[in-house]
């Protein structure tokens, strides 16, 4: 508690020091812009006007605030001295934020911008005024909106001077109109209709058509308020100069020839097969020009790892309505070799690892990507009594071959072209030698990844994923102490140090629009192998398991779901909510999930008041540090996270977070007392943590530091109130967890 008081008092002192000098660099006669507010004076219209959105039109915003409260970046700037020759003053001004002083001219322009935007939203008689309040050397500004009456469309008329275009757009049928009687009369509604028609024509051969050919006429004469008569006019194309200008129908173009060329000045040969070029090109000879197909062609070539640069140009054939398409491609170097070293620290055992990766982006001249990675790791292991003196050594070889298309027979050309797909096969061999055991993993996979064109939805199908895990050697000490002990508490431990086959199939889905992100995945293992064992009449062993080559195979079903939503308060503050649920159930040939498929809780992306793999299952409390990493796993996981993110200054961001969750087992295992899930005990077994975090945003990646504290610890019963509610009885050594990670937690 003494340390916490010192830290708290130091933080308060810094905040006070920073806040007391906010107006240090505000010139005489000027005022620091303190509070900026946008409000609606008309209470009748207040429910229809979004002041949060309209605040984006305010030209001068106050200095940024930490967590919408503390103007610490301004305080840091103000702490700098006036002598710019000293490096510490320049540093403070660089990472801080200069004061925003009130500008009356910018305020008047803001009033005009707000009035214009209200007019665009359909409030044709809106006005905006401004209130200011001066206190000391600071000023508060309140922009008061008087929207008035909201206007609606009374009657719509479409005038299209080009008869062919009118037929193509089906505008003789009012059901194809984008504007309707009773619709809000707003600029965005009118502009959306103009964009819709322009896009439809650009996809129907009208290469040179642009939205300026579409205009609107609004008439309120003879219409009872709040009604407006709207006329949309689509004009002919002007030809000639001002003196001899005539108007003619718009030209509808077809594609003539499609040609390809290399954009590399040092290599005129295009190293891609013709059929690969054809599948990536959505522009076909004889078809009408389409802006959407042009965009899809750019996107398709952009997905090919072999392609570095794409340029598509069109050339009009003289005196015809034909366009020749020229596609220029510059390819990447086919082969690269990279080396990546890293440091490791596992429970205090220091070590190093390195990987050497060879990559070929155009293996068969079809933009196939071959990746071969060789990885090695070493850790010096100390303090293991009863084991021979051997450090940890790992060697791994992984090979991946991906094709930028579906490799499936009898698939139509349209499907292959309209879906951005990747087919991938992989092979892995991993060798691990420890003082306690030697472990080998061999795996092979075959999967598809795809997303429809112009879509935020992504899919993945694991057709087959085979894993063979075997233990060629286990030390006698480890075997006697843990594996041959008949005490059932080590059943999970014994299962995970036996040879095992895992053959699974799975399906995954994800969606993201920048504000909402959804991920879902389901996988199943062992069903085909069990079906085959029954068909051939195989016998079960003494544990009731079928075996393949005298090796048991895992059988389970597993599903995961994640949902994240972000609420942006302003350009520097954001609230993010996250919900995660995972459930896996072993059945048939298995009573226990393989260790690699079990859930764990705690760590940088879970309940951050606990270190990784140190929470749960349920109210289980580990007492053997050597094997608790096995026992603190489960069949079910729940994560509930709330994080408030703010920009601090420079490239530094901050976060306040509250996490809740745990893991549980679905079966009762005597080695994990208190770990089985029940609805009745769920409220009492939710672990809760809280804390603060720092994020260094380097644009391409984010480095994250999170400091978490336990608030509710389900490992202790309610009668142990000091341990069960560490929020009320905090102890830094017992309840603190530090996390370092790359990337955001969710």
Provide the residue ranges of all domains of the chain, joining segments of one domain with +. Answer: 2-146, 152-248, 254-331, 336-484, 507-746
Q: What is the CA radius of gyration of the chain?
A: 33
- Is the backbone of residue 616 left (phi > 0), alpha (psi -120 to 50) or beta? left
Phi then psi for residue 403, to 5 deg, are -115, 130
In whole angstroms, what is the distance from residue 649 CA to residue 97 CA? 7
Q: If 0-12 CB within 10 Å is exposed, 13-18 middle and 19+ buried, where does residue 649 land? A: buried
CATH tag, 2-146: 3.10.20.310
Which stretches within 576-720 are classed as H helix?
A: 628-631
Q: In angstroms, what CA-CA distances link 219 with 152, 158, 162, 222, 230? A: 12, 14, 24, 8, 7
Q: Are 561 and 581 in contact (CB under 8 A)?
A: yes
Nearest to 36 by CA among 121, 118, 114: 114
Q: Which helix (H) or strand (E) holds 361?
A: none
> Read out DSSP for 166-182?
HHHHTTTSGGG-S--TT
In whole angstroms, what is the distance from residue 628 CA to residue 600 CA? 11
31 cis-preceded (ω within 30 degrees of 0)? no
Q: Are 639 and 675 in contact (CB under 8 A)?
A: no
Per-residue pLDDT at 631: 80
Q: Compute the 3-state secondary structure of the chain and give helix, strand, coil in percent, each to the nearest 5.
A: 20, 40, 40
Total Cβ atoms within 10 A of residue 222: 8
CA 228 to chain CA mean position, Å:
43
Per-residue pLDDT at 200: 97
187-202 and 291-303 helices, crossing angle to 10°: 80
CATH tag, 507-746: 2.40.160.50
In whole angstroms, what is the distance from residue 184 CA to residue 682 CA? 49
Which token pair is 45? 């219209």
Facing residues of 425 across strands? 401, 446
β-strands 556-568, 573-586: how paired? antiparallel
In whole angstroms, what is the distance from residue 710 CA to residue 533 CA? 49
pLDDT digits (tens, 9 = 90+) for 674-716: 899 999 999 999 999 999 999 998 888 899 999 999 999 998 8
In whole angstroms, what is the distance from residue 275 CA to residue 268 CA? 19
Fold designation for 152-248: Ubiquitin-like (UB roll) (3.10.20)
Q: Does domain 254-331 have CATH number 3.20.20.70?
A: no
Q: Are 133 and 37 in contact (CB under 8 A)?
A: no
Which of the residues in the chain have pLDDT under 50? 1-4, 6-8, 10, 18, 488-489
Total Cβ atoms within 10 A of residue 703: 14
Full-prediction pTM beyond 0.95? no
The answer to whether the 2-146 and 152-248 domains have the same CATH topology is yes
Q: Are 604 and 659 in contact (CB under 8 A)?
A: no
pLDDT digits (tens, 9 = 90+) for 56-95: 899 998 887 776 677 878 888 888 888 888 888 888 888 7
Which token pair is 155? 């009657």
Q: In angstroms, what CA-CA distances link 207 with 194, 289, 615, 745? A: 16, 6, 62, 46
């Amino acid at each position: 508690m003494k340390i916490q008081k010192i830290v708290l008092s130091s933080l308060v002192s810094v905040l006070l020091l920073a806040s007391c000098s906010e107006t240090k660099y505000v010139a005489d006669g000027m005022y620091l812009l303190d509070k900026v507010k946008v409000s609606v004076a008309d209470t009748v219209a207040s429910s229809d006007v979004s002041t949060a959105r309209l605040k984006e039109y305010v030209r001068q915003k106050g200095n940024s605030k930490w967590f919408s409260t503390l103007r610490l970046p301004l305080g840091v700037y103000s702490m700098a001295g006036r002598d710019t020759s000293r490096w510490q003053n320049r540093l403070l001004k660089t990472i801080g934020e200069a004061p925003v002083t009130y500008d009356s001219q910018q305020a008047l322009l803001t009033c005009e911008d707000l009035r214009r935007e209200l007019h665009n939203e359909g409030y044709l008689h809106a006005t905006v005024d401004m209130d200011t309040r001066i206190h000391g050397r600071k000023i508060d500004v309140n922009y008061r909106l008087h929207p008035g009456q909201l206007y609606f469309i009374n009657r719509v008329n479409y005038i299209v001077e080009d008869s062919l275009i009118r037929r193509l757009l089906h505008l003789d049928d009012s059901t194809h109109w984008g504007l309707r009687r009773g619709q809000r009369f707003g600029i965005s509604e009118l502009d959306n209709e103009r964009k819709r028609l322009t896009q439809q024509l650009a996809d129907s051969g009208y290469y040179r058509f642009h939205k300026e050919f579409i205009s609107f006429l609004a008439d309120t004469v003879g219409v009872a308020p709040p009604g407006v008569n709207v006329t949309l006019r689509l004009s002919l194309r002007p030809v000639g100069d001002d003196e001899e200008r005539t108007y003619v129908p718009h030209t509808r173009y077809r594609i003539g020839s499609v040609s390809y060329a290399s954009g590399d000045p040092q290599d005129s040969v295009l190293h891609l097969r013709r059929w690969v070029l054809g599948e990536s090109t959505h522009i076909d000879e004889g078809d009408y020009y389409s802006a959407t197909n042009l965009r899809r062609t750019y996107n398709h070539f952009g997905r090919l790892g072999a392609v570095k640069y794409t340029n598509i140009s069109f050339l009009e054939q003289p005196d015809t309505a034909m366009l020749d398409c020229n596609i220029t491609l510059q390819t990447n170097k086919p082969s690269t070799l990279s080396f990546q070293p890293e440091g490791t620290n596992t429970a205090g055992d220091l070590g190093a690892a390195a990987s050497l990766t060879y990559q070929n982006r155009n293996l068969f001249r079809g933009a196939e990507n071959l990746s071969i990675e060789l990885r090695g790791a070493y850790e010096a292991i100390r303090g293991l009594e009863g084991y021979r003196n051997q450090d940890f050594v790992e060697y791994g070889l992984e090979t991946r071959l991906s094709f930028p298309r579906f490799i499936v027979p009898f698939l139509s050309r349209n499907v292959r072209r309209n879906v951005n797909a990747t087919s991938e096969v992989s092979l892995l061999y991993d060798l691990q030698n420890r003082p306690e055991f030697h472990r080998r993993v061999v795996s092979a996979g075959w999967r598809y990844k795809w997303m429809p064109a112009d879509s935020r939805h992504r899919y993945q199908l694991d057709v087959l994923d085979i894993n063979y895990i075997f233990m060629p050697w286990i030390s006698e000490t480890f075997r006697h102490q843990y594996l041959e002990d008949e005490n059932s508490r080590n059943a999970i431990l014994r299962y995970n140090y036996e040879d095992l086959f895992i053959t699974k199939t799975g399906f995954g889905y994800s969606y993201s629009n920048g504000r909402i992100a959804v991920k879902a995945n389901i996988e199943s293992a062992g069903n085909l192998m069990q079906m085959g064992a029954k068909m051939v009449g195989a016998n079960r062993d003494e544990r009731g398991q079928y075996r393949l080559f005298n090796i048991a195979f895992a059988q389970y079903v597993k599903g995961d779901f994640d949902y994240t939503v972000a609420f942006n308060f302003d350009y520097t503050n954001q609230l993010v909510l996250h919900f995660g649920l995972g459930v896996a159930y072993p059945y048939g040939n298995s009573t226990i999930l393989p260790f690699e498929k079990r859930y764990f809780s705690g760590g940088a992306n879970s309940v951050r008041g606990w270190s990784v793999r140190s929470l749960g299952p349920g109210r289980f409390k580990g007492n053997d540090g050597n094997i608790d990493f096995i026992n603190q796993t489960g069949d079910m996981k729940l994560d509930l996270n709330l994080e408030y993110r703010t920009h601090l200054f420079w490239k530094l961001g901050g976060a306040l977070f509250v996490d809740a969750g745990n893991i549980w087992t679905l079966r009762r295992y005597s080695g994990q007392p208190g770990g089985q899930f029940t609805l009745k005990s769920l409220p009492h077994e939710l672990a809760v943590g809280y804390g603060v975090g720092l994020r260094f945003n380097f644009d391409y990646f984010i480095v994250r530091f999170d400091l978490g504290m336990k608030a509710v610890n389900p490992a202790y019963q309610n009668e142990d109130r000091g341990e069960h509610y560490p929020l009320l009885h905090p102890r830094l050594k017992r309840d603190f967890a530090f996390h370092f990670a790359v990337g955001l937690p969710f």
